[in-house]
Amino acid sequence: MIQERSLPRAHKCPTCGKPVEPRKPQDPTPPEYPFCSARCKQIDLGRWFLGNYAISSKMQPEQEEIEPIEDERSEDEQSA
């Protein structure tokens, strides 16, 4: 039995939500893909630069237990 290759389905632009036309397998990928336009691609890049997005990761074992640093200065030096 031969399986038919499924064609890409239309999806929404991650920035504005407009539908993005699916590309045909023989067509080159447009430079703004998966966005609907170069403008939406730039908006998304700006959000990354501003820190609106973050990639979370599990903390390493040595990062989980961080002890506070005690100030070794005397009380007179701290109040000055």
| Residue 48 token pair | 């990354």
Average pLDDT over residues 50-76: 69
Query: What kind of fold does domain 10-22+29-54 have according to CATH?
Result: Erythroid Transcription Factor GATA-1; Chain A (3.30.50)
3-state secondary structure of 47: helix
Contact 8, 22 (CB under 8 A): yes
- What pLDDT is recorded for position 80? 56
- In this prediction the pTM is 0.54
Domain ranges for the chain, please list them. 10-22+29-54
**Cβ atoms within 10 Å of 35's Cβ, excluding its own:** 21
- What pLDDT is recorded for position 72? 66
Average pLDDT over residues 58-70: 64
Residue range 6-44, pLDDT digits in tens: 656 778 999 999 998 877 777 787 788 889 999 999 999
| Residue 56 token pair | 């979370």
Phi and psi at 46, nearest 5°, equal -60, -40
